[in-house]
Amino acid sequence: MVRVRRVVRNGKPVTVVLGLPLRGDELQALARKLKQSCGTGGTSKHGAIEIQGDHRERIVAELRKAGHQVRLAGG
């Protein structure tokens, strides 16, 4: 189960994707694709993808299209 949540860091929203069954290069490639679809920056570290801004709905749609089972979590 992949979880997509929004957290606030330094007063700005960040969308975090947790629980992806990917490693290394696959995770970085997916992060690159999500950043491009959202038109913003971000990173992949410690098995999670962080995207700048609140893009939960767009990311959930992209992950579901890629065949992942996704659930929104957090605020």
pLDDT digits (tens, 9 = 90+) for 23-55: 889 999 999 999 999 999 999 988 899 999 999
Q: Within the chain, where are the H helices?
A: 24-38, 56-65
Q: CA-CA distance, 18 to 8, in Å (whole number)?
A: 16
30 phi and psi angles, rounded to 5 deg: -65, -40
For residue 67, the model assigns a pLDDT of: 92
For residue 13, the model assigns a pLDDT of: 95
User: In one letter, which amino acid is 72?
Assistant: L
The CATH number of the domain holding residue 32 is: 3.30.780.10
- Is the confidence at residue 22, as pLDDT, over 90? no
Question: What pTM, to 2 d.p., does this model score?
Answer: 0.90
- Number of domains forming the structure of the chain: 1
Band (pLDDT 50/70/90 cuts) for residue 75 is low
Domain extent for 59: 2-73
